[in-house]
Amino acid sequence: MRFCLNVDHVATLRNARGEAQPDPVTFALMAEQYGVDGIVVHLREDRRHINERDVRLLKELITTKLDLEMAAVDEIIEIACDVQPELATIVPERRLELTTEGGINVIDNISQLRQAIKTLHQSDIAVSLFVEPDLNQIDAAAEIEADIVEIHTGHYANAVGEENIFDELERVRIAAKHAKKLGLGVNAGHGLNYINMKEFVAIPDIDEVSIGHAVIARSLFVGLEQAIKEMIKITGMNK
């Protein structure tokens, strides 16, 4: 299973002072040296953490791949087409949320998303849709020619009690299998950490995980190199 690191939280810390440090771009370059398979950033409409300068520099400097999380709105689509990340992951976005709260409703937004995918494809950008582990949403993603679905793992991460955890993991497992059968690439993310990844990594149909908070938080205690290597040890169990 590939492991891509989301560095948004480094930008949050930088912006707390309104100065240049810590620089998420430098952080991403170091993360690549320690073995991550890609870098993820979310360019939000309100620019609360990552900004355009970060995205442009990342695209220029990183040597793995850039996954740009974004809302399907004209301003951000235009920037994406200009920067050309290797992957655009379309997420729902609300100004008041602390973080992305759930998958995008593909069925209810099908014509807007179809158009966004078409525009991004015209610029040779692969497109992933961040969706709930819901077979109907995944069918809709395939219908409008998404390349990948990223399955929202927040319910699994927040589940309490053995039975609930098992049920949520099953939902993700079934959704991943279904997406693979339709020919989609399968990513997953949100709330994954060093503990819940131990069972998660056994799901055979997931190609890649996108993890931010747990790894950035751990790096404060043990340093970035160790935080990354510990996660690679887990994700590497399913390669």
Which segment (54-62, 159-167, 170-178, 207-215) binds ligand PXP by CB under 6 A? 207-215
Binding segment for ligand PXP among 71-79, 134-142, 209-217, 220-228 (CB under 6 A)? 209-217
By beta-carbon proximity to ligand PXP, the closer residue of 154 and 178 is 154
- Shortest distance, position 231 Cβ to ligand PXP, whole Å: 10
Q: Which of 9, 49, 152, 190 is catalytic?
A: 190
Q: Indicate whether 129 belongs to the interface with ligand PXP (CB under 6 A).
A: no
Distance separating alpha carbons of residues 45 and 52, to the nearest angstrom: 11
Element (H, E) at 52: helix 52-61
Q: What is the largest CA-CA distance in the chain?
A: 47
Catalytic site residue from 69, 150, 168, 208:
69
Q: What DSSP letter does each residue of 169-203 carry, written as one string? A: HHHHHHHHHHHHHTT-EEEEESS--TTTHHHHTT-
Is residue 213 part of the contact set for ligand PXP (CB under 6 A)? yes
Compute the distance between CA of residue 230 and CA of residue 197 in angstroms, rounded to an integer: 11
Output 87 or 142, the one with its CB closest to ligand PXP. Answer: 87
Active site (annotated) includes residue 170:
no
Which CB sits closer to ligand PXP, 19 or 50? 50
**Catalytic site includes residue 150:** no
Q: Rounded CA gap, 221 and 216, in Å? A: 9
Tokens of 172: 């993700």
Tokens encoding 105: 């409703």
- Give the residue with the Cβ less far from ligand PXP, 133 or 189: 189
Report how far residue 43's alpha carbon sits from residue 122's, in angstroms, rounded to the nearest whole number.
Answer: 20
Helices (H), 84-187: 110-122, 135-143, 154-158, 162-181
Stretches 72-80, 194-202, 210-218, 230-238: which one binds ligand PXP (CB under 6 A)?
A: 210-218
133 contacts ligand PXP (rule: CB under 6 A): no
Asked if 178 is an active-site residue, the reply is no
Choice from 212, 218, 219, 231 touching ligand PXP (CB under 6 A): 212
Q: Which of 129, 135, 133 is CA-nearest to residue 149?
A: 129
Considering only 1, 31, 91, 234, the residue that binds ligand PXP (CB under 6 A) is 91
- Cis? peptide before 22, omega within 30° of 0: yes
Catalytic residues: 42, 69, 190
Residues that bind ligand PXP (CB under 6 A): 6, 8, 42, 69, 89, 91, 99-100, 130, 150, 189-192, 210-214
